[in-house]
Amino acid sequence: MTTAALITIIITHTIVISTCTYFFIKVLRTPLKPEDEETPEEK
Amino acid sequence: MSNNEAWGSRVGLILAMAGNAVGLGNFLRFPAQAVSNGGGAFIIPYLVCFLLMGIPLLLIEWSSGRYGGKFGHHSTPFILDSMDRRRFWKYLGVFGIFTNLAVAAYYCYIESWTMSYVYHSLAGTFDSMSQSDVAVFFNNYLNVNTSTTGLPYEAVIFYVFCLLLNTWILSKGLKGVERAAKIGMPLLILFGIILAVRGLTLGTSAASEEFPNADAMAGLNYLWEPQFDSLSNPTVWLNAAGQIFFTLSVGMGTVHCYAAYVRSKQDVALNAMSAGWMNEFVEVVLGSLIVVPIAAGYLGLDWIKENAGFGMAFKTMPYLFEQWGPFLSAFAGMMWFGLLFFAGITSSLAMGTPWQGFMRDEFNWSREKSAWSFGAMVFVLGIPTVLVYQVLPGGSIDQIVFDEYDNWAGTVSLFVFALAETILFAWVFGMEKGWKEINEGADIRIPKIYKYIIKFVTPVLLLAVFLGSLFKPLKNDWQSALSGLFSGQGWTLDNSSVIKQLFVSDLREKIANATDAAEKLRLEEKLVYTACARTLLLMVFMGVCFLVYKAYLKRKSNNPSA
């Protein structure tokens, strides 16, 4: 495998895997807010 | 009967939303696009388009959906109506129901192939078949008159079974969809990782006398070697924008519908990012590590260059798995087609929810009634995609109705709707209100630059892609077409451009040039089937418009000030 291809794979996969993991962990760690059952006036 | 369902958990919502986006294209379309658009360099326009078009569209659809949900709307006609008083928005919102009905009709058919191939992999049907035998098997499967298992109309049976399964899950409501996503998505990722590890470790071990240069790493290298000169080619950018658009399942109304069930104070910004990036993980990481490396490992790079495409999933992969021995091939086939099945069903379930939301909100239908009516309509629309085809010389199948649905409902309609909703959100509803809506309850801070990207960049990009497909030049060669235009040679449209397709130019040309009487007759029959398929689509669109009108009258009689 050429160095250029290897570098592209490493950079791309690092960006995608780390960003996906970051957001997913943030979702798991953030609790849901308390409910508000009010229905607003339309328009 | 009130439609006050809500998601059971945040993870369930994100997995369902990611499942909606993850489809067969992640594993089959992305690698083929990357290979033919600059290899590793393709990732640059791809990620740029994700940031400038994909993320903005996700934010628009998630926040519009939650906004409509606050008023009790769970489908695009009245979600769009809640954002602006002018009547025509609700009729533009019809696309968000129509598209799903028409796409589900043929998408469930593809899904049923994966279901059937799981069965055939486990039953050992492909054992000792040659590569061409596997390809012939697929053609025979689509040709419903030829039985592959001894079961008459096997394709029809699997299609009906697949549709029944979808409908049954939908009849359980959001809980059913959430449970399917919670089972399907982790399994999809697990199967994908196992197959990707195999693709990465295959190396040259599978080289044979017939393919002495077979090397999985050469396949990976071919896919990822950046050809930076391709970045100056507008076609590559248009293809990257198209890939981002289709992979995220935006412009369909499904994201709106799912988001409409998010409680009014809950976050949409982090959820949108999380689901969007999960789709990217499946596409970029898993999608690039399975088909191309494994096929290159057995058949060599030259074979890939000539044959890379959608058909590889069914016509080639079973043969490649066969080389792993009877037990492992059954296991690998089950994982590969199981993975595609989960990718498919999590998307097709999303397609059922806008119709259900609409009928429950507007006509007080029950969850079950709305689900079974969806199943019945998809069956009526979908059975022509299974039964109307032509066997071409050489045995391959021309799926006429299937292709028409895919083109008009699965491609053109999505762009029209996405462009309309972006204009509505950024320019009519107003970017100030829109930005407030995106950030309400947000668990992350979206960079303020997105306010301007959504208002100016995303609509321009969408318009460029839409005009690009409308006026696609001959052989999709934009460089030559633009230089030809500026040197006064005019603009020649490709037969695959939307304008030419509208007039069925390609088929008409073929009919005019056909010399063989039998071939001419076949083409003329195809023209008739094409017209029938379009009429059917038009009838569905008009039918949904009528229902929206009835719902509007009903609302007006209940509340004259509405």
Q: Mark yes or no for CB contact B10/A36 under 8 Å.
A: no
Q: Mark yes or no for CB contact B271/A32 under 8 Å.
A: no
Q: Which residues of B touch A (CB under 8 A)?
A: 10-11, 14, 39-41, 43, 47, 70-72, 82, 85, 217-218, 220-221, 224-226, 263-267, 270-271, 273-274, 277-278, 280-281, 284-285, 441, 443-444, 562
Residues 6+ apart with CB under 8 A from B153: B144, B147
Distance (Å) from the alpha carbon of B562 to chain A's nearest alpha carbon: 8
Mutate to test the interface with B, among A6, A14, A30, A42 (most CBs of B within 10 A): A42
Tell me phi and psi for residue B86, to 5 degrees. Answer: -60, 135
Contact B280, B50 (CB under 8 A): yes
pLDDT tens profile B24-47? 889 988 988 888 888 889 999 999
Q: Which of B312, B293, B8, B367 is nearest to A32 (CA)?
A: B8
Helix (H) or strand (E) holding B398: strand B397-398
In B124-227, which residue ranges form alpha helices assigned H by DSSP? Answer: 131-142, 154-171, 174-201, 216-224
In B364-456, which residue ranges form alpha helices assigned H by DSSP? Answer: 367-387, 400-407, 413-423, 431-439, 449-452
Mutate to test the interface with A, among B67, B264, B445 (most CBs of A within 10 A): B264
Q: Is B437 exposed, middle or buried (0-12, 13-18, 19+ CB in 10 A)?
A: buried
Cα distances (Å, whole numbers) of residue B302 to A3, B218, B295, B296, B310:
21, 10, 11, 8, 17
Asked if A43 has any chain B CB less than 8 Å from its own CB, the reply is: yes
The pTM assigned to this predicted structure is 0.93
Query: Per-residue pLDDT for B271 more than 80?
Result: yes
Identity (one letter) of the amino acid at B57? L
Q: Which of B553, B520, B513, B545 is nearest to B90 (CA)?
A: B545
What crossing angle do the helices spanning B154-171 and B326-363 adopt, rounded to 10°? 50
All residues of chain A having their beta carbon less than 8 Å from the beta carbon of residue B13 are none
Q: Return the residue of B nearest to A31 by Cα.
A: B10
Altogether, the residues listed in chain A come to a count of 43
Hey, what's the torsion of the CAs at B14, B160, B156, B406, to 10 degrees? -40
DSSP state letter for B475? G
Higher pLDDT, B66 or B480: B66
Task: Note the pLDDT of residue B476.
Answer: 84
Average pLDDT over residues B112-139: 93
Distance (Å) from the alpha carbon of A14 to chain B's nearest alpha carbon: 10
All residues of chain B having their beta carbon less than 8 Å from the beta carbon of residue A15 are 47
Q: Which of B341, B336, B340, B339 is nearest to B324 (CA)?
A: B336
All residues of chain B having their beta carbon less than 8 Å from the beta carbon of residue A38 are 264
pLDDT tens profile A14-41? 999 999 999 999 999 987 777 655 555 5
DSSP state letter for B390? E
Residues 6+ apart with CB under 8 A from B129: B137, B318, B319, B322
Distance (Å) from the alpha carbon of A36 to chain B's nearest alpha carbon: 7
Distance from C-alpha of B415 to C-alpha of B407, rounded to nearest angstrom: 11
Distance from C-alpha of B425 to C-alpha of B166, rounded to nearest angstrom: 32
Distance (Å) from the alpha carbon of B438 to chain A's nearest alpha carbon: 16
What share of chain A has pLDDT > 70, as a percent?
Answer: 77
Q: Mark yes or no for CB contact B224/A30 under 8 Å.
A: no
Mutate to test the interface with B, among A2, A3, A7, A8 (most CBs of B within 10 A): A8
Q: Mark yes or no for CB contact A5/B47 under 8 Å.
A: no
Task: Note the pLDDT of residue B312.
Answer: 86
Query: Per-residue pLDDT for A43 more than 70?
Result: no
Task: Note the pLDDT of residue B449.
Answer: 97
Q: How confident is the model at residue B110 (pLDDT cuts 50, 70, 90)?
A: very high
Q: DSSP secondary structure string, B161-173?
A: HHHHHHHHHHHTT
What crossing angle do the helices spanning B517-558 and B326-363 adopt, rounded to 10°? 40
Percentage helix, strand, coil for chain A under 3-state DSSP, each rounded to 5: 65, 0, 35
Q: Which of B555, B558, B557 is nearest to B82 (CA)?
A: B555
In B202-265, which residue ranges form alpha helices assigned H by DSSP? Answer: 216-224, 234-247, 254-260
Task: Note the pLDDT of residue B193.
Answer: 95
pLDDT tens profile B146-201? 777 767 789 999 999 999 999 999 999 999 999 999 999 999 999 999 999 998 89
pLDDT tens profile B243-258? 998 899 999 999 999 9
Percentage helix, strand, coil for chain B under 3-state DSSP, each rounded to 5: 75, 0, 25
Helix (H) or strand (E) holding B83: helix B76-83
Task: Note the pLDDT of residue B146.
Answer: 79
Distance from C-alpha of B286 to C-alpha of B18, rounded to nearest angstrom: 14
pLDDT tens profile B307-353? 777 788 899 999 999 988 889 999 999 999 999 999 999 999 999 99
B486-503 b/e (C-beta count within 10 Å ≥ 16 → b): eeeeeeebbbebbebbee
Phi-psi region of B364 (alpha: psi -120 to 50; beta: other; left: phi over 0): left
Cα distances (Å, whole numbers) of residue B359 to B67, B96, B370, B555, B561:
19, 13, 6, 13, 22
Q: Mark yes or no for CB contact A35/B71 under 8 Å.
A: no
Task: Note the pLDDT of residue A40.
Answer: 53
Average pLDDT over residues B255-283: 95
All residues of chain A having their beta carbon less than 8 Å from the beta carbon of residue B441 are 33
Distance (Å) from the alpha carbon of A41 to chain B's nearest alpha carbon: 8
Contact B413, B95 (CB under 8 A): yes
Task: Note the pLDDT of residue B562.
Answer: 62
Q: Is B331 exposed, middle or buried (0-12, 13-18, 19+ CB in 10 A)?
A: middle
Distance (Å) from the alpha carbon of B447 to chain A's nearest alpha carbon: 15
Distance (Å) from the alpha carbon of B64 to chain A's nearest alpha carbon: 13
SS3 B239: helix
Considering chain B, what is the average pLDDT of its residues? 93
What share of chain B has pLDDT > 90, as a percent?
Answer: 76
Task: Note the pLDDT of residue B307.
Answer: 78
Q: Return the residue of A nearest to B285 by Cα.
A: A13
Q: Mark yes or no for CB contact A17/B281 under 8 Å.
A: yes
pLDDT tens profile B368-423? 999 999 999 999 999 999 999 999 988 889 999 999 999 999 989 998 999 999 99
Q: Return the residue of A nearest to B222 by Cα.
A: A5
Task: Note the pLDDT of residue B212.
Answer: 85
Q: Mark yes or no for CB contact A16/B40 under 8 Å.
A: no
Q: Cα–Cα–Cα angle for B26, B30, B35, nearest 5°?
A: 155
